[in-house]
């Protein structure tokens, strides 16, 4: 999404009679929907949150906040979301997608015959309406063996650089764990394992070794991190994974964190899309998780009976309420003592690779500058063009990117005002903004490959500036985390005389 502006070419007036103008597009944000998501769901219809840069010079997000109102950072961020209402489909329609059925998974070897038999009986006893939801009592592992989904949950310690000190505020500890998990690249099972019927659930160890995963891997790892922290700090909170339907992905898996003693109150329940790092309170009507079908922890699986009121803001989360939830394990049929987690308590985290981080940063800086020049040359359709980079401004932007990354690790670090304050704290940049016309946006991605990063930068159209005196600044900063996870920031701006 862009704001198109018409700009007068003042420098040309001294050479030509009349006035000429040019159009410039200012990047505001975007929505990315994988084709596989459209294929599986056939049609996507709803309000999708726009993915926006932390700060866009010359623009300000208009939130729905009221003076004196005390709301959480999650609620504040949700109110500042820009929602894009759209319908996305394929015309003509493709062959309908048919995923692997739950009954077929329950027939596969892996779990004991007793558990698979009990799960099959339990599943068949559910109403047709509930069966049509996102219900998975067992999932397929990497060896195509059936595994009870509760066995994937077990408290696991996050990397040591995430929980930096014992005195770290709880909200920042939660956000740091969310941030780390969201930086693990997302890749659906189609791309990872091939074949349209593959829905593979990996252990946390397999997930980190692969270096990518989809909704369930991200949700499970974050849930296990949360439970480790909450048990260590004795906060009283407990985390679960929830299976349901979300926008735009369709069938999805989120992480739920709540105090079970107060779980019936929506404001005490938070829902996290672990693959994007976005969190919502359960009472938020704009939460992209539009329905919850199943809730899971390490001890049990609960089927949501609150139909059709299965949207989080309409639900109770009291798992002991048998009118609202149906448990798989009961007093009459308890969980067998022989069922153990497929995840290990201790994950051997590979330390951050500082040398690789520095090499990557230098290579990305040089490559993106060359790409930037090539894009500008393409726009000139064969005519020679010159791209000038201001190295001093580029260097001044790097400390700003360090501040942006630090802000991402704090619960209140998503505020636009926070990022504007970070900009104003750099005197050189403040002076530049006061004396020049500046446009540009910082982008942040979990590094997967150079091509993806290059396309993301190109989509901002910062390079499309026809002013003959324009200069550019381009800064790249890479941050390394354990298990070869990298956060990459790129800040590209155009600079014109006033």
DSSP letters spanning 255-305: EEEE-GGGTTSGGGEEEEETTTTEEEETT-TT-SEEEEEEEE-SS-EEEE-
Give residue-wise pLDDT tens across range 136-147: 999 999 888 999
Residue scoring higher pLDDT (42 or 9): 42
**How sure is the predictor about 264, in pLDDT bands with cuts at 50, 70 and 90?**
low
Lowest mean pLDDT among 47-61, 284-298, 432-446: 47-61
| DSSP per-residue codes, 23-63 | EEEEE--B----HHHHHHHSEEEEEEEPB--S--TT-----
Cβ(60)–Cβ(40) below 8 Å:
no
Phi/psi of residue 34, each to 5°? Answer: -60, 145
% pLDDT > 90, the chain:
49
Q: What long-range pairs does 264-273 form, CB within 8 A, spacing at least 24?
A: 264/316, 264/317, 264/318, 264/321, 266/312, 266/313, 266/315, 266/317, 269/312, 269/317, 270/74, 271/242, 271/312, 272/178, 272/219, 272/222, 273/246
Return phi, psi of residue 280, to 5°.
-140, 150
pLDDT tens digit string along 330-368? Answer: 999 999 988 899 998 788 999 999 999 999 999 999 999
What do you get for the CA distance between the two ends of the chain, in Å? 26
- CB-CB neighbours of 366 under 10 Å: 11
Kindly tell me if the per-residue pLDDT of 195 is higher than 70: no
Residue 66's pLDDT band, with cuts at 50, 70 and 90, is low
Look up residue 73 and give its two tokens: 């950072």
Q: Is the CA virtual torsion 335, 340, 345, 347 positive or negative?
A: negative
Q: How confident is the model at residue 420 (pLDDT cuts 50, 70, 90)?
A: confident
Would you call 364 helix, strand, or coil by DSSP?
helix
Taking phi first (over 0 means left), then psi (-120 to 50 degrees means alpha), and beta for anything else, what does residue 282 get? alpha
Q: Give SS3 for 6.
A: strand
Give CA–CA dist 253/251, Å, rounded: 7
Return the higher-pLDDT residue of 184 and 192. 184
In this structure, are residues 463 and 441 in contact, taking their beta carbons and an 8 Å threshold? Answer: no
476 bridge partner residues: 490
Least confident of 92-106, 137-151, 393-407, 462-476: 92-106
Q: Which residues contact 357 (CB under 8 A, 6 or more apart)?
A: 478, 479, 480, 486
- Express the helix, strand and coil content of the chain in percent, nearest 5 each: 35, 25, 45
At residue 133, does pLDDT exceed 70?
yes
Length of the chain: 498
The position carrying tokens 């995963």 is 213
Mean pLDDT along residues 148-160: 95
> Residues 436-492: pLDDT tens digits?
888 888 999 999 889 989 999 999 999 988 888 899 999 999 999 999 999 999 999
Question: What sign does the dihedral 333-334-339-344 (CA atoms) show?
Answer: positive
User: Strands (DSSP E) along 397-470, which ranges?
Assistant: 436-446
- At CA 364, angle to CA 50 and CA 56, rounded to 5? 30
What average pLDDT score do residues 243-256 get?
A: 92
Query: Using CA atoms, how far apart are residues 443 and 240, in angstroms rounded to an integer?
Result: 31
Q: Reply yes or no on whether the pLDDT at 292 is more than 80.
A: yes
User: What pLDDT does 12 receive?
Assistant: 47
Does the pLDDT of residue 122 top 60, yes or no?
A: yes
In this predicted structure, the answer to whether residue 88 has a pLDDT above a threshold of 50 is yes
What is the distance between the alpha carbons of residues 411 and 406, in angstroms, rounded to a whole number? 11
pLDDT at 67 over 70: no
Question: From CA 237, how far away is CA 227, in angstroms rounded?
Answer: 8
pLDDT band at 207 (very low <50, low <70, confident <90, very high): very high
User: Mapping DSSP to helix (H, G, I), strand (E, B) and coil, where does residue 472 land?
Assistant: strand
Q: How many CB atoms lie within 10 A of CB 348?
A: 9
Query: pTM (2 decimals)?
Result: 0.90
Q: What is the C-alpha separation between 129 and 191, in angstroms, rounded?
A: 30
pLDDT computed for residue 15 by the predictor: 46
């Amino acid at each position: 999404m862009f704001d198109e502006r018409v700009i007068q070419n003042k420098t040309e007036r001294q050479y030509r009679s009349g006035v000429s103008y040019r159009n410039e597009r200012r990047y505001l944000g975007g929505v990315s929907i994988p084709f596989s998501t459209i294929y599986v769901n056939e049609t996507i219809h709803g309000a999708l949150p726009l993915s926006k840069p932390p700060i866009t010079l010359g623009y300000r997000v208009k939130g729905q906040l009221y003076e004196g109102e005390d709301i959480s950072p999650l609620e504040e961020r949700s109110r500042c979301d820009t929602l894009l209402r759209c319908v996305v489909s394929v015309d003509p329609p493709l062959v309908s997608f048919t995923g692997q059925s739950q009954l077929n998974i329950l027939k596969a070897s892996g779990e004991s015959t007793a558990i698979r038999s009990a799960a099959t009986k339990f599943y068949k006893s559910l109403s047709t309406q509930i069966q049509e939801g996102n219900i998975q009592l067992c999932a397929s592992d990497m060896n195509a063996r059936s595994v009870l989904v509760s066995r994937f949950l077990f408290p696991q310690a996050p990397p040591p650089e995430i929980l930096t000190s014992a005195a770290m505020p709880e909200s920042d500890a939660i956000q740091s764990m969310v941030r780390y998990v969201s930086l693990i690249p997302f890749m659906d099972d189609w791309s990872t394992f091939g074949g349209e019927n593959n829905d593979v659930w990996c252990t946390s160890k397999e997930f980190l070794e692969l270096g990518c995963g989809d909704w369930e891997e991200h949700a499970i790892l974050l849930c296990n991190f949360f439970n480790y922290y909450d048990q260590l700090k004795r906060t009283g909170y407990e985390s679960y994974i929830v299976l349901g339907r979300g926008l735009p992905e369709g069938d999805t898996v989120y992480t739920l964190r709540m105090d079970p003693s107060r779980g019936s109150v929506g404001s005490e329940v938070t829902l996290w899309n672990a693959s994007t790092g976005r969190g919502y309170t359960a009472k938020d009507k704009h939460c992209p998780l539009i329905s919850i079908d199943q809730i899971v922890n390490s001890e049990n699986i609960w089927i949501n009976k609150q139909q059709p009121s299965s949207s989080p803001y309409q639900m109770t989360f009291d798992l002991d309420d048998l009118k609202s939830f149906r448990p798989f394990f009961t007093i009459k049929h308890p969980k067998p003592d022989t069922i153990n987690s497929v995840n290990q308590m201790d994950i051997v985290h590979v330390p951050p690779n500082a040398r690789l981080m520095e090499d990557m940063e230098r290579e990305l800086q040089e490559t993106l500058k060359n790409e930037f020049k090539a894009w500008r040359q393409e726009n000139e359709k064969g005519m020679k063009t010159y791209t000038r980079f201001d190295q001093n401004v580029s260097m001044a932007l790097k400390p700003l990117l360090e501040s942006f990354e630090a802000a991402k690790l704090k619960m209140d670090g998503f505020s636009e005002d926070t990022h504007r304050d970070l900009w104003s704290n750099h005197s050189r940049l403040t002076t530049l903004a006061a004396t020049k016309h500046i446009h540009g946006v910082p982008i942040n991605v979990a590094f997967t490959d150079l091509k993806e990063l290059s396309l993301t930068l190109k989509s901002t159209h910062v390079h499309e500036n026809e002013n003959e005196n324009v200069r550019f600044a381009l800064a790249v900063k890479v941050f390394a985390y354990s298990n070869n996870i990298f956060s990459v920031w790129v800040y590209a701006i155009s600079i014109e005389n006033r």
